[in-house]
Amino acid sequence: MNTVWALSGVVIKELYRRKDFYVLLVLTGLITLAAGSANFFNDAKIVVYLKDLCLLLIWISALVIAVGTAARQIPAEREQRTIFPLLAKPVTRWQVILGKFLGCWLACGLALVVFYAFFVVVTGSREHHWPLLNYFQALWLQWIMLGVVIALVLFGSIIFSAPSANATICIVVVVGILLIGRHLNKVALQQPEPLQTLIYVVYFLIPHLEWYDVRDLIVYDHALISWWHCGLATLYGAVYVLLFLFVAWLAFRRKRLSV
């Protein structure tokens, strides 16, 4: 596990030494503050639009960071050839995959904490109430979702040689799941066979990332989700993470590496 932690430490260092995170944080901050300064019919108590906008920006930023960071990890190791001195040490390819995943996931978690801290300050300053447990739930579920996304992207990064192609495909898949994942069963019912069965199979196979998007519950001050269900969603996410990491390892294990 020491090796995995060491590898993840490098990924985290890479994230905070690159400009991506800071640019996205500043952009989110600027757009939110600009929107917050707008005057709508002389009513200073309006806050929902601000929460909605800020969370949307956080979601976009987190996805960009997660996909961008994960997509370049293994291709960059191969392209810059850092993989060779690394694998010349007692490091297995499974440890490389796991370390990269853990690093990206922890780095995204850190980024999320910073983003949500900003969100709490902005909304708290308007609403004067602090539903921190709800915010924690939203952050936790988003983090779990990012875990699944990172594992998927890592798998993609072994299949596709160009990080940009992998990132684009993964973004399309993830956004597609977020937007229509939960409706695929309804879509299936309106299709003739065998399309119906095919769509239903896809519906049951894809990771239902939309579960982890609880922005509406936060924006409109709904009650907490039961912790039991949060736990089950975490378990569901963990299964997909392991699945994607396992297939990534299977693909990576067979990759020929030559100096």
Partner 1 sequence: MSVILKTEKLRVEYPNRESRQGRKVALSGLDLEVNAGEVFGFLGPNGAGKTTTMNVLLGFLPPTSGTASLFGIDVRQPIARQRIGYLPENTYYYKFLTAEELLRFYARIFGLTSAEADRRIAELIQLVELGHAAKRAIKTYSKGMQQRVGLAQALINNPDLLIFDEPTSGLDPLGRMKVREIIQRLKNEGKTVFFSSHELGEVETVCDRVAIINQGELKVRGSVADLVERHQANLEKVFLDIIGYQPQPVS
Partner 2 sequence: MMKASPPLVLALLLAVCFTVATSTQRHALNWSTRAQADSVLKVLLGDGRRMFANHFFTQADVTFHSGYYPSIFDRREKPSTSPMQSGHDDHDDHEAEAGHVHGEHCNHGEDAHEKEMAFLNQPRDWIERFGRHFFVTDHTHLAKGREREILPWLRLSAELDPQRVQTYTVAAFWLRTQLGKVAEAEEFLREGLRANPQSYEILFALGQVRYDHHQDVVRARNLWEVALRYWKEQESGKPEPDLSSLREITLHLARLEEAEGNWRRAIEHLKVAKMVSPQPELLQQQIEELQQKLAESP
Biggest alpha carbon distance in the chain? 66
User: Candidates 89-97, 111-119, 175-183, 212-220 — which segment interacts with partner 1 by CB under 8 A?
Assistant: 89-97
CB-CB contact of 15 with 111 (8 Å): yes
Residue 163 to residue 182: CA distance in whole angstroms: 28
56 binds, among partner 1, partner 2, none (CB under 5 to 8 A by kind): none
Can residue 43 be called a binding residue for partner 2 (CB under 8 A)? yes
Burial class (CB in 10 A: 0-12, 13-18, 19+), 258: exposed
Cα 39 from chain centroid (whole Å): 33
CB of 117 to partner 1, least distance (A): 25
The one segment of 65-73, 111-119, 212-220, 244-252 that binds partner 2 by CB under 8 A: 212-220
14's contact among partner 1, partner 2, none, with CB below 5 to 8 A by partner kind, is partner 1
Q: How far apart are CA 29 and CA 8, in angstroms?
A: 28
Among 30, 92, 113, 133, binds partner 1 (CB under 8 A): 92
Tally Cβ neighbours within 10 Å of residue 148. 25
Letters for 168-187 (x = contact with partner 2 by CB under 8 A, - = none) are ------------x-xx-xxx
**Residues in 229-258 at the binding interface with partner 1, rule: CB under 8 A:** 256-258
Assess 125 for contact with partner 2 (CB under 8 A): no
Site for partner 1 in 41-70 (CB under 8 A): none
| Closest among 169, 11, 213, 37 to 100, alpha carbons compared | 11
Whether the CB-CB separation of 74 and 154 falls below 8 Å is answered with yes
| Burial class (CB within 10 angstroms; exposed 0-12, middle 13-18, buried 19+) of 65 | buried
Stretch that binds partner 1, among 10-18, 22-30, 130-138, 235-243 (CB under 8 A): 10-18
CA–CA separation, 11 vs 142, rounded Å?
A: 20
Residues near partner 1, by CB under 8 A? 2-3, 5-6, 9-10, 13-14, 17-18, 80-92, 256-259
Residues near partner 2, by CB under 8 A? 38, 40-43, 45-49, 52, 141, 180, 182-183, 185-187, 189, 203-204, 208, 210-214, 216-217, 219-220, 222, 225-226, 229, 232-233
